[in-house]
Each structure stands twice: as structure tokens, then as C-alpha cells.
Amino acid sequence: MEVFKKSVSKRLTALLSLGVISCLIIVFTALYVGSAKLGKNDFISGFQTGIFIALMGSILFKIKELRSALKNNDSLKTLYIKENDEREKLIRQQIACNSFNIIMIAIALATVISGFYNILVFSTLCITLGFIVLVKASLKVYYYKKY
Amino acid sequence: MKTKIQELRKKHKISQEELALAVGVTRQTITSLENEKYTASLVLAYKVAKYFNLTIEDIFDFSEVEEF
């Protein structure tokens, strides 16, 4: 449990650092990048700011969870069980595997359809699809060798 | 996979939460085991058997396991 406590403390520190960086990015994108000087679209600027605000929100939630876990041994044990429960791990694994495949198929379909309308969108989706396939192939080789 | 976990739990008068805490899983995992929706790993099966002071075969029913 001591090892787990140390890893939780490290994660808390990492999250706090990430939170600070997200805050700085939010301020930077809202004040400077979104300005007309750079010819940036208001919608895109707002979208980027929104993403970092949502990220900030989830970071704050996670920080609260980890801090309350570090307060006493019972909460720490509850967090340990929640994160290491084999059924939860299996569910997370199944979600990751299936969602990866569904997203890959969806992007492939979008690539084909976009080819009829816009070459830029088609190229972007093509490159994205290539990257996803490369990641999947690399991970497959890695895990086959590992196990 | 069929198990006798619910029967043993009631016999020993312990709740799902107590058993879950004792073997290091969530209460939902114990519920899924009792409802035959989830098959325990070897480690979990061993922990449950050790908790009740029985063998794995006494608690988990392997009669429906396919033989190749």
C-alpha cells in the first residue's frame, strides 16, 4: 500500500503541473492567439479554449479524488481496489479495443466519402487513418513479443 | 460460470461489500460473480476459496467447461 501511496502522490504532482500548464494555455489562447492580428477564426479560438477548459475541469476532478484518497488508509484502499479490480480492468480493455476498431472503420468511411467533396479533408483523413493503422500494427507487434 | 459464493456468503452471514473488501475487488464484481455474468481469474478464485477455507472446486462449478 505504501508503493501505491507514493504512486498516487506522484500522479497528484503530475496533475497539478498539467493543471497549471492548461491554465496558461487557456489564458494564452484566449488573450493572444484568438486575436484578429493572426487572422485566426473566432470559432477555432473558442473551440481550442473550450477544450482546455474541459481538460482543466477533469484535471480538477481527478486532483480532488486523489487528495481525498491520500487523507486516510481506508480511502486509499478503496481507490486501490477501484483501480485494480479485475472486472473493471477487463471492461476498460474491451472498451479500448472495440472503440479503437469502430473509430478506425468510421474514419475509413469518412475518408472515402470526403474524397468526393474536398481534397484537403480527404488528405487529412487519409494521413490520420494511416497513423491509426501504424499505431495498431506497432502495438500488435509489441504485445505479441511481450507476451 | 456457476458458483456457490452467494450460498456461502449467506451461510457465514457476510455482505457482498465485506467479501469484496476481504478479497480486494469491488462489490459489483462479487455481484457479477454471483449472477454468473463474470468468470473470476485464478487469483481471485484462489482468494475467495482461501477466505471461505475451501478449495476452488468446492466453490466454482467446472462441469460446464468445454473440453478439447
Q: Residue A26 belongs to what H/E stretch?
A: helix A2-28
pLDDT tens digits, one per residue of A1-23: 888 889 999 999 999 998 888 88
Name which of A81, A88, A90 is nearest B24 (Cβ-Cβ). A81
Stretch B30-38: mean pLDDT: 93
pLDDT of residue A24: 86
Residues of B in contact with A77 (CB under 8 A): 21
pLDDT of residue A110: 95
**ipTM of the modeled complex:** 0.83
Nearest chain A residue to B38 by CA: give it. Answer: A87
pLDDT tens digits, one per residue of A34-47: 555 555 567 777 78
Say whether A82 and B32 touch across the interface (CB within 8 A): no
How many angstroms away from the CA of B55 is the closest CA of chain A?
A: 21
Residue A33's contacts (CB-CB under 8 Å, 6 or more residues apart) are: A40, A45, A48
| Model pTM above 0.80 | no
Say whether A87 and B25 touch across the interface (CB within 8 A): yes
Phi/psi at B40 (5° precision)? -65, 150
Residues of A in contact with B20 (CB under 8 A): 81
Cell numbers at A76, concatenated: 486509499
